[in-house]
Amino acid sequence: MNESLKEAAQKALSDAGVPVNLAAQCAEIVAKDDPTKENLGRTQEEQHLISSSMQWMKAKGFFEN
């Protein structure tokens, strides 16, 4: 697992308005992504968590110009 990526992802997600627990879970998922595997090696549950964090970010206006 890439610890520096995990820390950076958790901070970025938290700064974008994602709840702390969800940000921590998603950061852990991102830090262990494997680009050589289909879907980065993520389970359906892990992908659902990532999607949930994206919904939080959208709700907070993170993706607006």
Residues of the chain with pLDDT under 50: none
pLDDT at 65: 59
| 3-state SS assignment for residue 5 | helix
Report which residue type is found at 55.
Answer: Q
- Which tokens is 57 given? 């970010």
**Rounded Cα–Cα distance for residues 47 and 45 (Å):** 5
